[in-house]
């Protein structure tokens, strides 16, 4: 996969996709089948302070890539697309909430973090969400050609403070966070680097 999703720089499964039902504004449901695939490139997650060891140029590149990725939430037997900079009416019709958070617990670099450790981290994220009383649905991110994916959760009605705390706890470089009826926003956990492209739907919240 050329374009990464949040937390790791792309690794997981290949997902052949088939359009089932086109929605308004290019939002559509997909049928997805998953095959194991090798890990791809690497990145470094944000540490608990929200800074990490990622050079500023790489932070900017990751933000651009994550903003261009496609994300899906699994509801019933369909996956529904959402993207940064676009409203997510189809998703919001399927899972009604005031606020939405996409987050994963997977972390790079490939080769250093075995798959089973990432799966265990994801289970810890699920347990934390249950402890917080936050409902969630399975979700994933992939590049815009439907390539390799990273699994996560679409969390309902988390506050911005909860979203940022979860991102730091699970060492994520960024999340997606938005309010109902507004465009999906990318929330980067680092300070804004000077090389950032100025995307209007990307928020840099690191100190």
Sign of the CA dihedral 36, 111, 54, 165? Answer: positive
For residue 7, being part of any structural domain is answered with: no
For residue 41, being part of any structural domain is answered with: yes
For residue 1, being part of any structural domain is answered with: no
Q: What is the pLDDT of residues 70-97, one digit of tens each?
A: 999 999 888 999 999 999 999 999 999 9
Query: Tokens 């100025």 sit at which residue?
Result: 198
Which of 66-80, 107-121, 153-167 is the least confident region? 107-121
For residue 48, being part of any structural domain is answered with: yes
pTM: 0.78
Count structural domains, the chain: 1
For residue 4, being part of any structural domain is answered with: no
- Give the structural domain span for 197: 13-204
Comparing CA positions, the residue from 57, 92, 58, 62 lying closest to residue 75 is 92
Phi and psi at 196, nearest 5°, equal: -60, 145
Report the C-alpha dihedral over residues 189, 192, 197, 200, rounded to 10 degrees. 70
Give the rounded distance of the alpha carbon of 38 from its chain centre.
Answer: 19
For residue 17, being part of any structural domain is answered with: yes
For residue 8, being part of any structural domain is answered with: no
For residue 172, being part of any structural domain is answered with: yes
Comparing CA positions, the residue from 82, 69, 67, 65 lying closest to residue 30 is 82
Q: What is the pLDDT of residues 17-53, one digit of tens each?
A: 333 333 433 333 333 333 322 222 223 444 434 445 7
- The residues near 119 (Cβ < 8 Å, ≥ 6 apart) are none
DSSP-assigned states of every residue in 165-182: HHHHHTT-SEEEEEETTS
Which H or E run includes 68?
helix 56-68
Helical segments of 106-153, H only: 115-132
Which H or E run includes 163?
helix 160-169
144: its two tokens: 């815009």
């Amino acid at each position: 996969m050329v374009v990464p999703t949040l937390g790791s720089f792309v690794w997981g499964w290949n997902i052949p996709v088939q359009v089932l039902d086109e929605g308004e504004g290019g939002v559509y449901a997909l049928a997805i089948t998953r095959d194991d695939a090798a890990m791809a490139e690497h990145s470094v997650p944000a540490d608990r302070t929200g800074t990490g060891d990622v050079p500023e140029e790489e932070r900017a590149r990751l933000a651009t890539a994550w903003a261009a990725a496609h994300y899906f939430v699994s509801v019933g037997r369909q996956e529904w697309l959402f993207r940064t900079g676009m409203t997510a009416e189809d998703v919001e019709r399927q899972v009604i909430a005031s606020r939405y958070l996409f987050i994963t617990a997977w972390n790079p670099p490939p080769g250093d973090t075995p798959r089973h450790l990432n799966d265990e981290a994801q289970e810890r994220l699920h347990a934390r969400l249950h402890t917080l009383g936050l409902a969630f649905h399975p979700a994933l991110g992939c590049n815009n050609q439907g390539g390799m994916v990273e699994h996560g959760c679409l969390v309902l009605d988390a506050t911005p403070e909860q979203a940022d705390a979860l991102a730091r706890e699970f060492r994520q470089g960024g999340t997606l966070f938005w309010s109902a009826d507004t465009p999906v926003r990318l929330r980067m956990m680092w300070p804004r680097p000077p090389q950032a492209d100025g995307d209007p739907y990307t928020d840099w919240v690191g100190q």
